[in-house]
Structure 1
Amino acid sequence: MGQSQQGALRHKGADGQGHFPRSGNVAGFINPSTLTLLPGLLPFVLISLLLSMPAKAGDNTRQYHIPAQSLNNALMKFATDSHLELMFTAEKIRGLRTDSLDGNMTPDQALSRLLQGSGMSYRFVDAKTVTVEQPDANFRKTANVDEKPESQSGGDTTLPKVTVEADADPYDPYNTADPYNKSYSVTNSTTATKTDTPIMDTPVSIQVVPKAVLRDQQAWRVEDAVKNVSGVQQVWASGGEYQDFVIRGFGLNYNRFRNGIRLTEGTSDMANVEQIEVLKGPTAMLYGRVEPGGMVNVVTKKPLDTPYYSLQQQFGSYDFFRTTIDATGPITTDKSLTYRFNLGYTDRDSFRDFVGEDRVFVAPSLHWQATPDTQFNLNIEYSNNDTAYDNGIPAIGKRVVDVPINRNYTHPDFNRDNIENTLVDFNWSHNFNDNWKLSNGVVATMNNLQAREIPVAYVQTQLEDSPNPQVRRGTYFEDFERDNQTVYLNLNGKFETFGIKHNVLLGGDYYNFEQKNSGFFGLNYAIQRNFEGDALKYFTFIDLNNPDYNQFPFTFSELDNLRRNAPNDFVRSSQSWYGLYFQDQLSFFDDKLQILGGGRYDWARQKQGSSFTSFADISETAQNEEHFSPRVGILYRPYNWLSVYGNYTESFGLNNGRTANNVPLAPEISEQFEAGLKTEWFDGKLTTSLAYFHITKDNILKQTGDVTFETVGAARSQGIEFDLAGQVTDELSVIATYAYTDARIIKDRGLIFDDNGLVVGSNNGNLGNRLPTVAEHSGSTWLKYAFQNNSLKGLSLGVGAYLASSREGDNENSYQLPGYVRADAFAGYSFNIGKTKLTTQLNVTNVFDKRYYFAGQPYNTSKAYNMIADPLTFLGSVRLEY
């Protein structure tokens, strides 16, 4: 374990399951719910069938497109394309490079070209296995065309699979699916283009946080992972009940993605996470409505055809306990049917009063390689989370109030939320030949939330100068039902025209979201009674310095009876999106010049309404919009280690609601200009990127009443981002990030609210103000040293630092969250007990016990939502792997 790459590595090109599609029939496998998309895409499918040129039996010739690069990476690409098992010693070819390889040829011809001038030679051990070595007296090339396997087509995963021999380093740094992968850098990503494209050839900003980083930092929340990416900042999200971030100055509005599919608001359990990919800038061309800053895409674990089992127990400060299980392997002897099962159980308290969590998560999945060309995948996720709502600490005047960090102003007996999520993901794909592939999938989620809270509603501004400032608290007993369905169909093809290589994507998707909620809401009670008489019975004050939690004259049962028998909050809303998109990745001049072009046309419809009395009394308003969103990019790669790129993208989003005069609101429109460069070193083990961006967002929504809104402004964000990640040596791994973000309001018509949250006038707005929760300067660094000498082998030590400058708390810039610097550290030790690997680990967060606020609320003008960070915290772990 933990050796440098000096052992013999066995690489096998595969689809991630060890099988190589060749033939099959797609008929009968199309899901009925995709039929609405088929008329527009059927011509593309027919074209692909006509272009398909199946290889003749026994024909070993295939098309190779391998750019000039390190010999190590070129051999990896050859293994993927040829579907041969390739054995070589990484140390012996380190520093060697090869020229580009293009054209139709046999595997024997391709290997000869790749190894020309390298001093290396090769021999076929058998019909499917090739050894690359330095020639000696006993080494003889034994190539025989008749012994080669016939042409086969790859599947979803283009990275080769690794099988470790006795003296080999026990992981493949280029295979992200390898459970033992220790690499801090990732070479390929699908999030940016929906095709498996090298990041160095992608003219957009994409950062990946791989499993090695997640393990070393014991990232048990998505928030713990994205701190390793420049320009990404966590924001308040109901105290952790949801996940939300600001990217490049703009909040994601609780949008989250799993394997490129939009989900309802919630959290992603890390027990089933392979890696996390952050795509910067507007991404509407491929994903529909996405906020202009970018998106966070969680990539889940997939079934493997090699058995792997893991059991981990974590334990830490504030009664933190978390157990995870990961099991995968083949079900059938031919490995055509494989499974994976992940489980996570979390039971924890908090340094915050009245806050805790009890969460169960299970994720079974199956992969069936029905034919060499056709595969099916079924994934299910279920979670049940008993948790607590947390406002944080309110702000008074220019700063958050100075009270003990544990103080929570929600009611200790009325702070119980239960969130239940079920996800079903079915998808399949079919390879017509080596160049054309059709994929289809359906994802459905069901989300139920029961909220039983008395949280802080907002700060009483007229009492800010009082020696005993107060905040309003309101009862909130609500039941939510949220369902969404996504259907997609993609056709991906590769071909050449006049020497220009094309990687074309034609696709369509349908997204439907429905929400229904009802309950008892204290603010509604006060509004219905004009804030007079007993109007404030369920909407009262609490003193910040001397809180009295028992001032409500009712019991939990009485409030729950109001929710069931006398609810006063009824809301129903829905959204449906249809989108068709086209993308072409063109390559010129031996892949030195890459041009990305494409566009998406959306048809969007939404309905919503609310009532104080019943669902029957809801008057829903509907809104329909159509829009075309283009994206273009160009990348020039003068050297294998350097790429220079630029792009222009647009984004489109419906604005929810209507004006007080029942006029539909104009949609949000965003655009971005970006330019940057990327580099990679040490055969791709160390990568860097530098980007400049300029984003504008127009028609920003602001609430003017209980159910009415106006589009009142525009915002602009521009800045510079730098990311570095990977291995400097076999011992030293590093992550470093920095972001300068200047995010400001450039157009606004301000609204004046009274102390009850109602609009009473307008002013000149907040023109020129900084956007809330956005740090002008932010960055991070993380260093890990893995000892390689015999006496200390298996020991790893790491340190990290995370910083952010001051942030504004609201659009009015009326208060600030101070800047901070936080230090973390970890130590781990791994050793073998027979065939089992045992790892013990200790992580320390906030080593110097720094008090700071990591998040505010970017969408609300209230001063109530400011989340204080964990103090000095310890997290231990014991992990068994077999």
Structure 2
Amino acid sequence: MPTQHEFQFGNHTAATGNRCMAPAEFEFSPKNPYRKTGSTLTITLLTATLALSAPVAGALAAEAPREYTIPAQSLNSALMAFAAASGVELIFTADTVRGLSSKGLSGRMTPEQALNRLLAGSGIDYRFVDGRTVTLERKASPVPASSGAGDAFALGKVTVSADAVYDPNDPYSKDYAVPNATTATKTDTPIMETPVSIQVVPRAVMDDQQAIRVEDAIKNVSGVIPGASDGNYMDAFIVRGFDIGNNTYRNGYRTQRQQSETANLQRLEILKGAAAMLYGRIQPGGLLNLVTKQPLETPYYAVQQQFGSYDLYRTTLDATGPVLDDKSLLYRFNIAYQNTNSFRDFISTERIFVAPSLTWNVTSDTQFNLNLEYKHDWGVDDYGVPAVGKRPAPIPISRRLGQPQENFENDLLLINFNASHAFNENWKLRLGVNANSNEFSQEDIPPRILEADNRTLQQGAWFMDISESSRGVNLDLVGNFQALGMDHSVLFGGDYYSYEQKSGGYANRYQPIGSAIDINNPVYGGVDFRRLRSLKRSSSDFFYTPEEEWFGLYFQDDITLFDKLHILGGGRYDWATTIAGFSNTSFDAVNKTATRNERFSPRVGILYQPWSWLSLYGNYVESLGSSNGLNISNKPFDPQTATQYEVGIKAEWNRIMASLAYYHLTKDNLLTTNLSTGVNEPLGEARSQGIELDVSGKITDQLHVIASYAFTDARVTKSNDLSGGTALEGRRLPHVPEHQASFWVKYSITDQFSIGSGVYLVSQREGDTTGSFQLPGYARWDAMAAYRFDIGKNRLTAQINVNNILDMEYYKSGQTWTRLRIPVGEPLMVLGSLRLEF
């Protein structure tokens, strides 16, 4: 008969025979089934040798598959996440897993399959004590002999403490630090092992700051500022000194330029520097990837009502859960409605947004995802204020120098299908298909000329219909293997992208239409909109049909040596075609011109991790930029190209992450707009170099922080002779501050009550390429307070945010080709919210 042993676990006694049961003491909150309570998990383990037990795998192998999402992290944390998700009891000592990491796993599989994947390449064996208990030991370690005191012996009590495992899809997560990001390598490589600069703004930050626009969230990242949006209907950003144009992606797929909705966003990932190796023809400053909320196995529902200054009303709904009882089919549904006026005269906008998504786990190895987004916007554009002398015009910031009848309307539809299949635990195939459609109409009276008296503003006309569409296909093969004592994580892929636009209308944009407005004493209503609409129908004078198409093949190998040295190498070859044409008579008369380019773009990086908490890295990248458009002779400009060198340091202290980077980025074939003629001309070469610091995480269990600082020296380094005769070499690039900083902190006074505050600093910027005027620097102070009411298993959170508490006047970055469109920053604004989660 087996010898009986008693082991004490807190107030519980477990009687066992010939084995030691050491259940991990996980506590789960009934209000949040997604994560463990508290910031620290304490696992009390009693370990023992197994003298008589034989492997018993049948129960786990026969269990039904379930969904696992465990990011790459330390092996200790990955195993704790697995134990919590599967209910399997794991027995191991701290020494067994010390210093080891796991690549994580994602997908539907049995517990045994999941454990095999987590331990792959770790040098650790496992054996089953029974159907629910597993012991782990290093392969090189022999099983110790029995102590002679019975059939098993117990080592001393071991306590292992670690932070709660981060789940990127947890709707209740309050984490500010995100350990993994897919944008930099198209794999789930930990940020600490990625030799490039990538920053993440998680949903927790967006919720605490009530960020309802992407630009509201991205202000937390170093070296990123709002760019020239040409009104208030699209996003625009400057990263590392350069406008990134259309470099906005959604779940890794390129989208058309728009003002993105945030209701279904889980996080923002910002990849700094040239990124053409994986993503094709993009601008070199960086790339913004919007990662959306994914369907979840556990039901979750949230309704939020926001209300604020200037008649802002916004309602959002988030619902997710299984469709079928076996949880093989999951759904998520996001809705947003927003209606708001503005501190600016005549400005109002309205939005309807719907985003359903489905996930079908066909088997444990095969998954299909379908995502759809529809967004309808309508409202009035805002072109800001003109410059007078060296500064923005000294007029009230509420004054809009346009006509009340101006309007725009936009319908955008996005469809994405992606699928993945794991051939085995090491190789996976991914396919993605993406399609966008956008219908845009606009009736604007934009500013054209400010007369010499610095008060008479002549106006033009822009009555336009724009139809655009794009399609993209990605195919990736991801694999892991060992060769010559090295671990390889490889990516082979190809993509196709095409874009078409058809713009037509009445575009007397650059000539006065006979009506002027006095910026100091405006009188509105002097423009005959009926006549302009009639001209649009009968006398359209603008017909523009740009097209783009490219194919790309790429490869990447992430090599790991000695668990400390990571070498990233890869390259991409692009075949790109740009077709564009213009006519002022009809679409049939458009004379299209095609240009074709080919280029190989390499990327190499190296990262050394002397300790698990510290990484030193460097990289070199080249890129082929997007189309440069047409010159005045209807001929295409040469495409923009770029090179970048970067070195940096990353650190992670369990609760908090930090990165410090120095970069040197050069961009060739840069264009500028001649302010005298309004025509694009080749500028030459520009260089941006600087230092960036980012910190995010929690200092204590109650204190969360996200902060950044950037020093940016962005200048023209080679200048062609412009027709205007202006010398530009050595001048700073427009709208790029030399210094930029942000600091946001949230303190949880109790589990229910929290407060937060932040400051945002931007130094003086040049207003245009020639340096004819400057935008003054500014400091903005924001604050928040929130209280959570627990109603049974439900949560009701009341929150208030106050932005620009000191009501400072400031100006955002505007267009580089005109002095007449300087966006005005929002004055003091109060935003309230009630959010019910259940």
Q: Does TM, normalized by the shorter one, top 0.5? A: yes
- CA-to-aligned-CA distance 1:809-838 (integer Å, 9 cap, x gap): 000011111111110000001121012111
Do the aligned residues in 2 keep the contact of 1:123 with 1:131 (CA within 8 Å)?
no
Provide Cα deviations, 1:352-407, integer angstroms capped at 9, x if missing partner. Answer: 11111110000001111112211111110001001211111110110000110100
Question: In the alignment, which residue of structure 1 is the partner of 2:48?
Answer: none
Please point out which of 554, 567, 581 is paired with 2:554. 581
Give the Cα separation in 2 of the matches to 1:141 and 1:237. 74
TM-score by length of 2: 0.84
In 1, Cα distance between equivalents of 2:784 and 2:200:
21
The one-letter code of the counterpart of 1:495 is F
- Counterpart amino acid of 2:753? L
Q: Distance in 2 between matches of 1:312 and 1:303?
A: 19
Q: Give the match's secondary structure for 1:868.
A: coil
**CA pair 77-626 structure 1, distance change in 2 beyond 3 A:** farther
Partner SS state of residue 624, structure 2: strand
Q: What pairs with 1:363-402 in structure 2 (closer than 5 Å)? A: 363-402=355-394
In 2 relative to 1, CA 406–122 (structure 1 residues): closer, same or farther, beyond 3 Å?
farther
Quote the residue 2:99 is aligned against: 99
In structure 1, what is the equivalent of residue 709 of structure 2?
A: 738
Aligned residues of 1:580 and 1:600 also touching (Cα < 8 A): yes
1:124/1:364 CA distance change after superposition, 3 Å: farther
Name the counterpart of 2:833: 877
Letter in 2 for 1:696: T
Look up the match of 2:472.
486
- Rate the CA distance shift 1:70–1:445 in 2: closer, same or farther, 3 A: closer
Give the superposition deviation at 1:712: 2.8
Q: Deviations over 1:491-545 (max 9, x none)?
A: 0010011111111000000010000011111236x4xxxxxxxxx4x25432211
User: Are 2:784 and 1:855 equivalent residues in the alignment?
Assistant: no
Equivalent residues in 2 for 1:128-527, closer than 5 Å: 173-413=165-405, 415-460=406-451, 463=452, 466=453, 468-523=454-509, 526=511
2:740 is aligned, of 778, 800, 804, to 778
**For the Cα contact (< 8 Å) 1:84–1:128, is it kept in 2?**
no
SS in 2 for 1:561: helix
**Distance in 2, Cα, partners of 1:800 & 1:451:** 37
CA distance in 1: counterparts of 2:503 and 2:73, whole angstroms:
56
Task: Name 1:75's counterpart in structure 2.
Answer: 79
**What CA distance in whole angstroms lies between the structure 2 residues aligned with 1:331 and 1:353?**
47
C-alpha contact 2:718 2:729 (8 A) present in aligned 1: yes
Q: What is the rounded CA distance, in whole Å, between the counterparts of 1:235 and 1:483 in structure 2?
A: 23
Three-state SS of the structure 2 residue aligned to 1:522 is coil
Distance 2:804 2:509 in 1: 38
Aligned match of 1:647: 619
Are positions 1:619 and 2:591 aligned together?
yes
Q: Partners in 1 of 2:73 and 2:331 — Cα distance?
A: 36
CA distance 1:273–1:661, shift in 2 (3 Å): closer
Contact 2:88 2:132 in 1 (8 A): no
Offset at residue 561 of structure 1 (A): 2.2
Q: Which residue of 2 aligns with 1:749?
A: 720
Is the aligned partner of 1:802 residue 2:760? yes
Kindly tell me: are residues 126 and 572 of structure 1, through their superposed partners in 2, closer, same or farther at Cα, counting changes over 3 Å?
A: same
State the Cα deviation string for residues 202-232 of structure 1 (Å, max 9, x = none): 0000000011101101111100110110010
In the alignment of these two chains, the number of paired residues is 753
**Aligned CA distance change for structure 1 residues 263 and 142 (closer, same or farther; 3 Å):** farther
- Say if 1:244 and 1:255, in contact at 8 Å, map to a contact too: no
Which of 527, 530, 540 is 1:567 aligned to? 540
Cα distance between partner residues in 2 of 1:125 and 1:439: 37
Distance 1:481 1:142 in 2: 75
Specify whether residues 88 and 572 from structure 1 end up closer, same or farther in structure 2 by C-alpha distance, changes over 3 A only: same
Q: Aligned-pair distance for 1:877? A: 0.3
In the superposition, relative to structure 1, how do residues 401 and 78 fare at CA in structure 2: closer, same or farther (>3 Å)? Answer: same
1:825 equivalent to 2:829? Answer no
Residues 352 and 9 of structure 1: CA distance in aligned 2, closer, same or farther (over 3 Å): farther
Q: In structure 2, what is the equivalent of residue 721 of structure 1?
A: 692
For residues 662 and 880 of structure 1, the distance between their equivalents in structure 2, rounded to whole angstroms, comes to 56
Q: CA deviation at 1:702?
A: 3.6
Shift of 1:854: 2.2
Distance (whole Å) between structure 2 residues aligned to residue 746 and residue 196 of structure 1 = 38
- Which blocks of at least 5 consecutive residues in structure 1 are unaligned? 11-55, 60-65, 133-139, 144-168, 527-535, 752-760
Distance 1:110 1:748 in 2: 55
What's the CA shift for 1:658? 4.3
What's the counterpart of residue 39 of structure 2? 5
Amino acid at match of 1:543: D
1:329 and 1:190 map into 2 onto residues whose CA distance is 24
CA distance in 2, matches of 1:799, 1:77: 33
Once the two structures are TM-superposed, the CA of residue 105 in structure 1 deviates from its matched residue by: 12
- Equivalence for 1:636: 608
| TM-aligned CA deviation for residue 7 of structure 1 | 6.3
Indicate how the Cα distance of structure 1 residues 142 and 576 shifts in structure 2: closer, same or farther if over 3 A, else same: farther
> Structure 1 residues 817, 368: CA separation in 2 closer, same or farther (over 3 Å shift)?
same
With over 3 angstroms needed to count, the CA separation of the structure-2 counterparts of 1:344 and 1:125, relative to structure 1, is farther
Q: Deviations over 1:595-640 (max 9, x none)?
A: 0000000000011111111111111111100011000000000000
- AA aligned to 2:427 is W
Q: Would the aligned equivalents of 2:89 and 2:132 in 1 still touch at CA under 8 Å?
A: no
Q: Deviations over 1:269-314 (max 9, x none)?
A: 1111000000000000000112111011100011001100000000
Structure 1 710/814 Cα, relative in aligned 2: closer, same or farther at 3 Å? closer
Cα shift readout 1:715-735 (whole Å, capped 9, x = no counterpart)? 000000000000111100011
Match of 1:547 in 2: 522
Q: Please tell me whether the aligned partners of residues 483 and 515 of structure 1 are also in contact (alpha carbons under 8 angstroms).
A: yes
| TM-score for the superposition, normalised by structure 1 | 0.80
Letter in 1 for 2:79: L
How far is the alpha carbon of 1:96 from its aligned partner?
A: 12
Structure 1 Cα separation of the partners of residues 494 and 117 of structure 2? 40
Mapped partners of 1:559, 1:245: distance in 2: 33
**Sequence identity (%):** 47
Tell me which residue corresponds to 1:31. Answer: none
Specify which of 655, 659, 664 is matched with residue 694 of structure 1.
Answer: 664
SS at the partner of 2:578?
A: strand
1:420-462 Cα shifts (integer Å, max 9, x gaps): 10011011110000000001111101001010111213444xx
* TM-superposed deviation, 1:142: 11
Are the counterparts in 1 of residues 672 and 817 from structure 2 also a CA contact under 8 Å? no
Indicate if the aligned counterparts of 1:362 and 1:382 stay in contact, CA closer than 8 A: yes
Provide structure 2 residue ranges, at least 5 long, that are not aligned to the other structure: 1-30, 45-59, 64-69, 104-111, 138-149, 154-160
Distance across 2 between alignment mates of 1:181 and 1:861: 43
Residues 1:669 and 2:669 aligned together: no
Cα gap change, 1:873 to 1:106, in 2 (>3 Å)? closer
Query: What is the one-letter code of the residue matched to 1:544?
Result: I
Counterpart-to-counterpart distance in 2, 1:397 and 1:72: 63
Q: Which amino acid aligns with 1:501?
A: D
